[in-house]
Amino acid sequence: MAARRMAIQGLAGVIGRECLMACVAFRVDASLEIGTGHVMRCLTLATALRERHAARCCFLCRELPGHLIARIEAEEFEVLRLVAPAAAETSHSGQGAGEPAHAAWLGVDWSQDARESADLLASLAPDWLVVDHYALDARWESAVRPSGTRLLVIDDLADREHIADLLLDQNLGRLAKDYAGLVPANCQLMIGPDYALLRPEFAEWRRPSLDRRDSRPGLSQLLISLGGVDKDNVTAEVLQALRDIELPRTCRITVVMGATAPWIEVVKRVADTLEQPTEVVTNVSDMARRMAEADLAIGAAGSTSWERCCLGLPTLMLVLAENQRFISDMLDRSGAAVAISLREESGKVSLNDAIRRCLSVPGYLAEMSAKAASIGDGLGAQRLGRLMHEQ
């Protein structure tokens, strides 16, 4: 860690004072309801800004159940804490007239969050404020944004107004016109998976992953990863379904879960009942390698979709929240993944039928892999960092 600080200080000296972003503040949360993806992609961007542009990055996070503040601090970023909401506030529905659809994710009323956030930001005077939160919109941004601070909004929904200078929506199938009337006319839009915020190791593993798929077709390694929280224990449902599916006995199964996932012990017990060798791991630091070595994934249609695409990993995809449905539909339509269901659902393939197709149709996995790999190269954080630096 000390070596990392020295390297950053050295980089600052090489780049020169006039080229640096002095401070970037992130307003983002994780929780059992929100999941971990928003914080993880902000960490990716913060790391790129620190390492490439010597930026000081600070996070404003509320202490919601399942927060990732310790994870952020372990990466040596400063966290300014917004206190956990009282029990009465936690039940705040937040969805009155004009409220964002995900207003309740904030845990408190937006105006309270704005007051508390503005107080913390006053001492930072950031060059950039980055907001990645479905519960926040232009009202919060107008109340909080310090004078002279540029605003980057990271969004996936195109369902509310913003006053952003830059807006990133990394989703396949999203169009600039989807934000017409939702952002100022001079807002620069960064649309599509070319801007997906992936950690550098995914770009580093991309070539080895694609080369391995060319040389070793088939299904001998299955990766299951249904988000950092999986509050509804869908992972256990998937494992139970796999007991009735004729996978090769030599197929190895790896289940990856977040450290805050509430059903880890249940998942481990179910994993022990499978015929195939099955391991359950948490809080892994080598996800890119694990994806590169897998032949097929069963995953959620969230932000990890772009990690799998970068590595050309064929995926059977489950929708775990309504806000994932757009991603699922677009990836299924592109042929880069297959939208499946564990229950009878119109228009969806069953897990059993999907795996049978993977095992029995020659070239099926290879075709899915090629289409996935064509979607993104894993360099989105670097592209976004350059744009922020140039403004």
- Along the 391 residues of the chain, how does pLDDT read in single tens digits? 444 444 434 443 433 333 456 899 999 999 999 999 999 999 999 999 999 999 999 999 999 999 999 999 999 999 999 999 886 454 454 556 679 999 999 999 999 999 999 999 998 999 999 999 999 999 999 999 999 999 999 999 999 999 999 999 999 999 999 999 999 999 999 999 999 999 999 999 999 999 998 877 789 999 999 988 898 999 999 999 999 898 988 899 999 998 888 999 999 999 999 999 999 999 899 999 999 999 999 999 988 999 999 999 999 999 998 889 999 999 999 999 999 998 776 667 999 999 999 999 999 999 999 999 999 999 999 999 999 998 8
| Class (C level, CATH) for 2-196+378-390 | alpha beta
Cβ atoms 57, 50 nearer than 8 A: yes
**pLDDT on residue 15:** 37
Fold of 200-373: Rossmann fold (3.40.50)
Cβ atoms 97, 62 nearer than 8 A: no
Phi-psi sector, 148: left (phi>0), alpha (psi -120 to 50), beta: left
The model's pTM: 0.88
Q: Tell me, yes or no, if the two domains 2-196+378-390 and 200-373 fold the same way.
A: yes
CA dist 133 and 149 (Å) reads 18
Q: Which 8-state DSSP code applies to residue 136? A: -
CA dist 90 and 293 (Å) reads 41
Cβ atoms 257, 264 nearer than 8 A: yes
Residue type present at position 242 = L
CA dist 287 and 388 (Å) reads 27
Structural domain spans, the chain:
2-196+378-390, 200-373
* Three-state secondary structure readout of 55-114: CEEEEEEECCCCCCHHHHHHCCCEEEEECCCCHHHHCCCCCCCCCCCCHHHHCCCHHHHH
> How is the beta sheet containing 315-318 ordered, strand by strand?
278-282, 252-257, 221-225, 296-300, 315-318, 337-341, 349-350
